[in-house]
């Protein structure tokens, strides 16, 4: 009998919800592990399950960094009150001017997974730039718990301005066609929604399970939006109806997709317990088509 298969601990929805509370709400690391231990039945089981819930940097790369089809650069540009830094990927042999896409990270910062997503978009024919929105604090650290703490200290108004500075920087970059959209995940999805409010020059926005902007700000949105939500993500989904109603009332162009039976972060293939390949592949195909249609 293969014990590595039969003894693999089961991950329940309650465990996934506890991890979401830890990464996005009020539960600290110690409280999370105590709760996970109760749910798993033992400390040993909790220790085995925790890495399955978290994202693994070792699993980050689907598109290798040395892919000869791509040009990769680390860039710096003026931000709000300081310098921004980021990761750019573009086709090595473009057929013409490239549409631009900002790739906005989760609340772990600019990590290997987001860099990989940036390379994937470049292979689809975009000039893709992933800004590090922790740049004002020195950039994304290796420790993810430290990164999450840094997000709590970010000034959101300044962060949105850094999003707009990043958009303008990419729009003006040589080799681009001047049109820039944005795709963001989790915290980054929320920032895409806020950037759509703040930037009349944003040409398209795709938010994966992102917090919605206040309804009274929706009238300012100019960009068409594609909004992806996870069916089991009660925390974020609580704001869908108000956002949909505000978008409809203001005559905005938008599409909303809710993927039944999947969790927040279903697109993140480095998180074994929450990743859902079928939903991720469908959302990605829709995202790429939407960006191509609106940025060409």
Distance CA 154, CA 236 (A): 20
Give backbone dihedrals phi and psi of 224, rounded to 5 degrees, phi first. -65, 145
Catalytic-role residue among 17, 20, 132, 233: 233
Residue among 17, 186, 228, 269 flagged as catalytic: 186
Q: How far is CA 220 from the centre of its chain?
A: 23
From 259, 255, 253, select the one nearest 276 (Cα to Cα). Answer: 259
The tokens describing 170, both together, are: 């990419």
**Would residue 17 show up in a list of annotated catalytic residues for this protein?**
no
* CB neighbour class for 200 (10 Å; exposed up to 12, middle 13-18, buried from 19): exposed
Q: Residue 120 belongs to what H/E stretch? A: helix 112-123
Residue 228 φ then ψ, to 5°: -105, 130
The residues that bridge with 229 in the sheet, in sequence order, are 258
Q: Which of 94, 112, 110, 92 is nearest to 102 (CA)?
A: 110
Catalytic residue among 17, 228, 264, 269: 264
d(C-alpha 264, C-alpha 187), whole Å: 11
Note if 233 is an active site residue: yes
- Whole-number Å distance between alpha carbons of 262 and 100: 29
The answer to whether 105 is a known catalytic residue is no
Q: In sequence order, which residues have a C-beta less than 8 Å from that of residue 93 and are 6 or more positions away?
A: 69
Name the strand (E) or helix (H) holding 16: helix 13-24
> In angstroms, rounded to a whole number, what is the distance separating the alpha carbons of residues 22 and 16?
10
211 φ, ψ to 5°?
-60, 140
Active site residues: 186, 233, 264
């Amino acid at each position: 009998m293969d014990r590595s298969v039969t003894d693999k601990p089961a991950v329940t929805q309650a465990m996934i919800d506890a991890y979401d509370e830890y990464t996005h709400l009020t539960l600290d690391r110690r409280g999370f592990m105590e709760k996970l231990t109760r749910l798993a039945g033992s400390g040993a089981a909790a220790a085995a399950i925790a890495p399955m819930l978290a994202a693994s940097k070792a699993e980050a790369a689907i598109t290798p960094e040395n892919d000869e089809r791509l040009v990769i650069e680390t860039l710096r540009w003026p931000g709000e009150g300081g310098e921004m830094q980021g990761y750019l990927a573009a086709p090595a042999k473009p057929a013409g001017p490239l549409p631009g896409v900002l790739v906005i990270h989760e609340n772990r910062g600019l990590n290997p997974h987001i860099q990989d997503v940036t390379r994937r978009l470049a292979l689809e024919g975009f000039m893709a730039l992933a800004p590090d929105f922790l740049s004002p604090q020195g950039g994304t650290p290796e420790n993810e718990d430290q990164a999450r703490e840094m997000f709590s200290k970010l000034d959101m108004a300044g962060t949105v301005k850094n999003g707009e500075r990043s958009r303008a920087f990419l729009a003006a970059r040589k080799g681009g066609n001047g049109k820039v959209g944005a795709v963001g995940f989790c915290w980054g999805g929320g920032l895409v929604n806020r950037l759509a409010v703040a930037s009349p020059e944003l040409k398209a926005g795709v938010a994966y399970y992102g917090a919605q902007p206040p309804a009274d700000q929706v009238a300012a949105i100019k960009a068409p939006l594609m909004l992806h939500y996870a069916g089991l993500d009660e925390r974020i989904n609580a704001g869908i109806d108000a956002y949909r109603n505000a978008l409809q009332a203001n005559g905005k162009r938008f599409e909303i997709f809710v993927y039944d039976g999947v969790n927040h972060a279903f697109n993140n293939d480095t998180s074994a317990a929450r990743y859902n390949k079928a939903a991720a592949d469908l959302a990605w195909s829709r995202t790429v088509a939407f960006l191509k249609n609106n940025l060409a």
